[in-house]
Structure 1
Amino acid sequence: MTHDERRLQVLRAIVEDFVSTNDPVGSKALVDRHSLGVSAATIRNDMAVLEDEGYITQPHTSAGRVPTDKGYRLFVDRLTQIKPMTGAERKAIQSFLEGAVDLDDVLGRTVRLLAQLTRQVAVVQYPTIARSGIRHVEVFPLSTSRIMLVVITDSGRIEQRVIPLNVEVTEEQVADLRSKLNAAIGGLRLSDASSRVADLARNVPSEIRPLAACVASVLLETLVEQPDGRIMVGGTANLTRDLHDFPMSLRPILEALEEQVVILRLIGEVDPSTVLVRIGEENQHAGLSSAAVVS
């Protein structure tokens, strides 16, 4: 093992111990806890080099060392190993989520589970309805002058609206429109369905055209064109476990979590096929400069 490789192993040990104990890490602790194969004096020399290079720092004269943002970045980029879930863990998570009754329940269970597993704050974004596919459209009469419109998406989301009508309709007319709606837009993404909805309203038989126009208006204005962005947050209390992690106060982080626009922007910048880790000052929002964001 070269000197550089050993120093990387020392840095790995410091990060792992500090994350685990929240206490500055000294050379003796590294010798006792890790099989580094060298003396405490050699480790002290390696720690001095790591400190000179900006990967660790000494918070107090008599204390051990703690990682800096630069040290965490090197740890994330080169030293971490992702532990795959065991079959038992996967089964437990699947069983926990299968008990959910609707999308809100699924996301609520997900954010609580993620917060419990990581012991951190967890944030989950609702599926963006404009990107969802239409699984089924249901239209049924509430009276001769009111109908209920229900759109079920492939993400499990359900949107429903009560639509007042300026004409009276029959159950047969409502059933006819339901069939035509599903034939026209079933399987499409909501963001791609607007032209089909508009065409449908113009091309249906004249006897259901007023009904189709009312339904099309609701679909276009409320479901297709409305911007969507909702999040669910869990585990905020986890921030209070280690208050010394935040040198100033928790207030900037709590304020950032309350600003949904900030969180949605962070989520929106992520490629769904990758994991992105922002550490400290890498977070553009000032309120998150003392935190790491994994998305």
Structure 2
Amino acid sequence: MVSERGLDVLRAIVQDYVATREPVGSKSIVERHAFGVSAATIRNDMALLEDEELISAPHTSSGRVPTDKGYRVFVDHLAELRPLSTAQRNAIATFLEAPADLDDLLARTVRVLTQVTGQVALVQYPSFERANVTHIELVHLGGPRVVVILVTDTGRVSQRIASLGTDLDDADVATLRAQVSVLVTGGSVQEGLGKIAHTLAETPTRSPREDAASRALLAAVAEELEEFRQDRLVMAGAANLARRESDFQGSIYPLLEAIEEQVTLLKLMTEMAADAEGLAVSIGRENEAFGLSEASVVTSGYAGTIGEARLGLLGPTRMDYATNLSAVRAVAHYLSRLMADDERAR
């Protein structure tokens, strides 16, 4: 059982180690912090913390550094988050102001997060699975090629070029648009996918030429609707890992691989248990199952156009948790507000 003063000593060790990157000794704690006790007393407290595996001695150093367990106790006992400065808050608000579209907004979000914190910034796209498809348009490019445009009630617009396998005229395109519009507009993305799957499973009732074009179009629309359903991340600041490589005992390759593949980070962020304010932290060995045992992830929920998504930071366990938690909370707040304003405007 760690005493109150022991927790204060742990807090001092974490703060000093994060600030200096140097192991922390009892003498420096007495000099930097007003504990009102001798260095010998602090050494006793540090010995108890070491017994609890909250701090450890790197090599032969007389100082101590926090362990993953120590960082966890520190985070769990944070009395308050370190508030962002007025300049930082103004920078966030200004940087996120008047985005061109959702893609632009999320790209700006990760850029400002990595600028404020110096960590890898991550933001999850909101799910559009329950969004309603309001419009589908086909633009004939000549021959068998059309541009397929889908619009949802959340303001999401997507388009792709599809080849329907046979030359078309404007009347063919109009007929195909009417056929697919009946299936997907007015319902959710998920419902549209179900109707398309059912239609593709039916026995053809049109001529081979018409059926081939229709099936090719339905397959293209289904692929686009699947894109709406898939989770994906926008990221920025991967170069910060290389700059802080000395904070990792092993290779940073597993982190770079996770950034490139996304699936691991999405799964980790989804499984992290958030507190009452929507904040969550996963530290070091807590991420071992995801191959990220030398990294920490800090996240906050934000209100997407439909449901909630998450944004966060990825970095070494030696990070400024108080400031980083404040940053993700502040950016999530601005992002939620911008999403709500956009929804009201529509």
Aligned-pair identity (%): 44
2-structure distance, mates of 1:173, 1:286: 49
49-58 vs 77-86, greater mean Cα deviation: 77-86
2-structure distance, mates of 1:238, 1:122: 10
Q: CA deviation at 1:140?
A: 4.5
Partner of 2:158: 159
75-84 vs 4-13, greater mean Cα deviation: 75-84
**TM-score between the two structures when normalised by the length of structure 2:** 0.67
The DSSP-based 3-state class of the residue aligned with 2:285 is helix
Q: CA deviation at 1:263?
A: 1.8
Q: CA deviation at 1:149?
A: 2.5
2-structure distance, mates of 1:174, 1:84: 59
Per-residue deviation, residues 72-129 of structure 1 (Å, max 9, x unmatched): 1111112352245567644432321235334433232222221122211222333444
Q: CA deviation at 1:293?
A: 1.9
The DSSP-based 3-state class of the residue aligned with 2:3 is helix
Partner of 2:311: none
Return the letter of the residue paired with 1:259: E
Alignment of 1:106-185 (within 5 A): 106-129=105-128, 131=129, 133-134=131-132, 136-142=134-140, 147-153=146-152, 157-164=156-163, 167-170=168-171, 173=174, 177=178, 181=181, 185=185
Q: 1:294 aligns with which of 291, 295, 298?
A: 298
Q: CA deviation at 1:71?
A: 0.5
Partner of 1:231: 233
1-structure distance, mates of 2:183, 2:258: 44
Contact 1:139–1:147 (CA under 8 A) maintained in structure 2: no
Partner of 1:277: 281
Partner of 1:50: 49
- How many equivalent pairs are there? 285
**TM-score between the two structures when normalised by the length of structure 1:** 0.77
Q: 2:269 aligns with which of 252, 267, 270?
A: 267
Partner of 2:78: 79
The DSSP-based 3-state class of the residue aligned with 2:279 is coil
Partner of 2:310: none
Partner of 1:7: 6
The DSSP-based 3-state class of the residue aligned with 1:233 is strand
The DSSP-based 3-state class of the residue aligned with 2:96 is helix
1-structure distance, mates of 2:67, 2:25: 15
Contact 1:141–1:171 (CA under 8 A) maintained in structure 2: no
2-structure distance, mates of 1:261, 1:184: 28
Distance 1:104-1:292 versus aligned 2 partners, 3 A rule: same
Higher relative contact order by CA 8 Å / sep ≥ 6: 1 or 2?
2
